[in-house]
Amino acid sequence: MAKAIYTHACALIFALFLGLSAEVEAQSATALEISGAGADAGPVYLELADLDALPQVTFETSTIWTDGTVTFSGVPLKALLGELSGRNGVVEMVALNDYKVDMPLDRLEDGAPIVATRLNGESMSVRDKGPYWVVFPYDSDTKYQTETTYAWSIWQLNRLKVVD
């Protein structure tokens, strides 16, 4: 399944390369850049529709940044990275404001974190910490309430890079 997704993503990345190469210069807020280590793993840009096409996970939780309980839905990071997630190393996550944090790949779980695309069913604008937000189901387990977890919870996610 993961392999199928990866193949699918690779196909998408190819298409993007062909159609959107002119816009490389401009920083795109809506496209999520994914890149692997090594020469062969060139960056792939995924739009909201691309992400919606991938398997979705939804959970309810409170966060320290929002009021009350909210519902997040989106693509699990592990699924999004596909084969890349199987390596040793870290995934380097960068926000629109260049905030950068590394998360060890072996800490990725099937359902957490997710790259949330919807908050309470609505897509998120940049002003609302969107369009992509890495979140954990904080309420489900205290292990998601550590400083490290909060550091990994990066909003306005813009780029993902798997590093050995």
* Interacting residues toward other proteins by CB under 8 A: 26-27, 29, 63-67, 96-97, 99, 125-129, 142, 145-151, 155-156
Q: Which is nearer to other proteins, 88 or 142 (CB)?
A: 142
Give the nearest distance from C-beta 135 to other proteins in angstroms.
13
Q: Which is nearer to other proteins, 98 or 110 (CB)?
A: 98
Q: Which is nearer to other proteins, 68 or 121 (CB)?
A: 68
Report the C-alpha dihedral over residues 14, 46, 144, 101, rounded to 10 degrees.
Answer: 80
Triad 137, 140, 143: Cα angle to 5°: 85
Give the nearest distance from C-beta 141 to other proteins in angstroms.
11
For residue 123, how many other CB atoms are within 10 A of its CB? 15
- CA 11 to chain centroid: 19
Alpha carbon distances (Å) from 25 to 3, 28, 47, 110: 31, 9, 17, 34
Give the nearest distance from C-beta 63 to other proteins in angstroms.
7
Give the nearest distance from C-beta 129 to other proteins in angstroms.
5
Triad 21, 24, 28: Cα angle to 5°: 120
Give the nearest distance from C-beta 151 to other proteins in angstroms.
7
Q: Which is nearer to other proteins, 6 or 150 (CB)?
A: 150
Q: Which is nearer to other proteins, 71 or 148 (CB)?
A: 148
Q: How far apart are CA 98 and CA 35, in angstroms?
A: 16
